[in-house]
Amino acid sequence: MKIINWIAFILVVVGALNWGLVGIADFNLVTTILGDGNATKVVYDLVGLSALYMIVKKGKLV
């Protein structure tokens, strides 16, 4: 598997786990680690771009 695929996969998993924590425990892990600054926005942007990448490049169900 190419490195970009692994990076996209890891970022999507991080985003999903973060949303799960927000929904279950009202706890935002990304904001807790990085604060409310630009770094958090960059992580959220990268997670979103990774999800789009996975949909476009790896969106096959089989």
Domains of the chain, by residue range, sit at 3-55
pLDDT at 5: 87
8 Å CB contact between 50 and 12: yes
> Please, is 21 exposed, middle or buried when counting C-beta atoms within 10 Å of its C-beta (0-12, 13-18, 19+)?
middle
What's this model's pTM, rounded to 2 decimal places?
0.82
Percent of the chain with pLDDT over 90: 79
pLDDT tens-place string over residues 39-56: 999 999 999 999 999 988
